[in-house]
Chains A and B, each alone.
Chain A
């Protein structure tokens, strides 16, 4: 069954090609079914591969499928080959599973859009690229997927490109990602220079055979460069600014970018390269610090945003910060676990918010919502489940993964990581419930135009919501402490690199068995406090939030403007770049030097020609004379020239 792995990639590609070339002539239903069917089949095959992998003994769960020889140049060899191991199987299941639900949802959501076939073509391509990224067995092929994901995000964020804000957001996402990708590409080159190979297996086995000492400079450089790539794709400080703007795309796209694909690429990459990262304590510290700072930073911005999708965007950045925190302290399994549960509940939240926006005919401002609970019950219930899951209330998915990350941060990291993470968790619970309360509870602030069209979404939109709600509910049990199935499954990839213990439960042995349970109680209490605060501020005393905003006007303004990071980047990077581009690159280098040299050469040729053409006298005598002189020269050369 493992041999079928290439089909996982093939189906979305076929969907892309057919919808891209012939989608205009196909009927709308056909386009939708084709795209969904492609991802659905891909999911089925992924599941079969998963079963196939389970039948192997845990130690041998690595399967490589060689497709074709791709690049061979001297000692540089890169094959197009796929790799199936526990980590990539978890990823493809999440990508195709959540992706499939998002595709179904899109049929309903995008039904009236005139770019219907274009949308599904891009969507399939997006899934294809992400699958390529997680299935490749070497860094270069992974880089292809990595870039293709960036391209698809550009196409989809700018899907409504007639809107200037959308095309700007798309450009921003593309350019910011390029900055990260530059680091990633440099990292790959350095890997090749160091290991003379870019195959995962060869690189990691070279590492695990101890050819490199811990903390060596080269490995630190490699991991840092790769991490720069990860900050771009996974929206971490300092390259996170594209993600909130990416909300300009259609809502299902936001769900796809935020949940199943794209932003998880960085976490996946670090988990994949865990052998390298474990060799560099410095990089691990950087990763963990960036992660926890991002988690807190984005959560504070999320507190005051008023756009329903933007709040979710900042919560994504914050949750990704947790994943990096987990990776940074060496708890890769916890990171991947949170990646998985986050995929479920964040896709759910985005799709549910899309359903809200759909119901309100395009309104995204939560100040103009409220009291929607009785009007769109299914959306409300599923949104509630998603919110509870992200806030970290047991037994929902987010609780187990976040709790495990916090526990690992305390056990393997230090108290600072834990306290910052826990504070961010408090904020998360607060702003998510603020979002919930302002959208669905309280008095209705919807204007009467939108009120007339208020309706629950059609079946093909609510069904994916229900399915994702189910996953958000049970998703946590894959990694429940004690019988951590996910952990055991991933152990051959993530745990076997000289680390004594990975599991939070086992490491608790050093600290007493009570620690995990205490931590659970604490994180639950933290989440409840956040919810209680939100309840107090937005249900009980709605005027309280205004008063607080008045009281801390400066901080409120700072948060509302997202710490002015965009403005700072504008001032430091973008405007100088623009200025240099126009003043130097355009007006001097391009106009004067490049255009000047081209025109100069043309003018030179003209001048020489105008002198030389006087040789053409029109007198036959002259021509005959030249011929004779030439003949004599040839004879002289032939006779005396040897």
Chain B
């Protein structure tokens, strides 16, 4: 029997993987994908809880999240392309001019 706990643990693992990816990877595209991973981990827990509580609100939120994620992907990718055109790199350690 797969209980709510299983879902939530999976969601937590996915989320943590995403966070660690954001923190340690250098490639902007991969960081971007990690963010998507975090968002989907949250989606998973939404759906699981919605099923568990017999409520549609959680499922509704998932749609919102996916819409926002799609918009974010469009804007984020556009930014990365623009950065690449200017700097010839998407290694975020080379993009550090916003500092003291």
Contact = CB atoms under 8 A, between A and B. Distances in A.
B23 A621 contact: yes
Nearest to B22: A624
B97 interface: yes
B19 interface: yes
A447 B34 CA distance: 107
Contact of B23 (A614, A616, A625): A625
Interface in B16-34: 19, 22-24, 31
Given A619-B92, A619-B93, A620-B92, A614 B22 contact: no
Contacts, number: 26
Interface of A: prevailing SS: helix
A618 B95 CA distance: 8
A627 to B, nearest CB: 9
Contacts of B19: 628
A617 B22 contact: no
B100 interface: yes
A619 B98 CA distance: 8
Interface residues of B, number: 13
A621 B98 CA distance: 13
Contacts of A617: 96, 99
A625 B20 CA distance: 9
B100 A621 contact: no
A613 interface: yes
Contacts of B96: 617-619
Interface string A376-390: 000000000000000
Nearest to B98: A618
Nearest to B35: A624
B99 A618 contact: yes
Interface in A596-642: 613-614, 616-621, 624-625, 628
B14 to A, nearest CB: 16
A620 B19 CA distance: 13
Interface in B41-72: none
Interface string A28-39: 000000000000
Contacts of B98: 616, 618
A613 B100 CA distance: 6
A618 B97 contact: yes
Nearest to B96: A618
Contacts of B95: 620
A616 B100 contact: yes
Contacts of A616: 98-100
Interface of B: prevailing SS: loop
A617 B92 CA distance: 12
Nearest to B25: A621
A613 to B, nearest CB: 4
B9 to A, nearest CB: 16
B100 A628 contact: no
B88 to A, nearest CB: 18
B91 to A, nearest CB: 11
A624 B100 CA distance: 18
Contacts of A621: 23-24, 92-93
A618 B98 CA distance: 5
Given A619-B92, A619-B93, A624 B99 contact: no
Contacts of A618: 96-99
B93 A614 contact: no
Interface in A380-433: none
Contact of A614 (B24, B97, B100): B100
A619 B28 CA distance: 12
Contacts of B100: 613-614, 616
A614 B100 CA distance: 7
A619 B100 CA distance: 11
A620 B26 CA distance: 10
A619 B23 CA distance: 11
B27 to A, nearest CB: 12
A608 to B, nearest CB: 14
A458 B11 CA distance: 107
A628 B95 CA distance: 21
A618 B99 CA distance: 4
A620 B30 CA distance: 14
Contacts of A625: 23
A616 B92 CA distance: 15
A160 to B, nearest CB: 62
Nearest to A623: B98
Nearest to B92: A620
Contacts of A624: 22-23
Contacts of B24: 621
A618 B22 CA distance: 15
Nearest to A632: B19
B26 to A, nearest CB: 8
Nearest to A625: B23
Interface string A137-173: 0000000000000000000000000000000000000
A111 B98 CA distance: 74
Contacts of B92: 619-621
A620 B100 CA distance: 14
A241 B89 CA distance: 87
A612 to B, nearest CB: 9
A277 to B, nearest CB: 74
A628 B34 CA distance: 14
B80 to A, nearest CB: 12
Contacts of A620: 31, 92, 95
Contacts of A614: 100
Contacts of B31: 620
Contacts of A628: 19, 23
A635 to B, nearest CB: 12
Indicate the member of B93, B97, B99 with the most A CB atoms within 10 Å: B99
Contacts of B97: 618
Contacts of B23: 621, 624-625, 628
15 contacts: A614-B100, A616-B98, A617-B96, A617-B99, A618-B96, A618-B98, A618-B99, A619-B93, A620-B31, A620-B92, A620-B95, A621-B92, A621-B93, A624-B23, A628-B23
Q: Closest 3 interchain pairs by CB? A: A618-B99, A618-B96, A613-B100
Given A619-B93, A620-B95, A628-B19, 19 more contacts: A614-B100, A616-B98, A616-B100, A617-B96, A617-B99, A618-B96, A618-B97, A618-B98, A619-B92, A619-B96, A620-B31, A620-B92, A621-B23, A621-B92, A621-B93, A624-B22, A624-B23, A625-B23, A628-B23
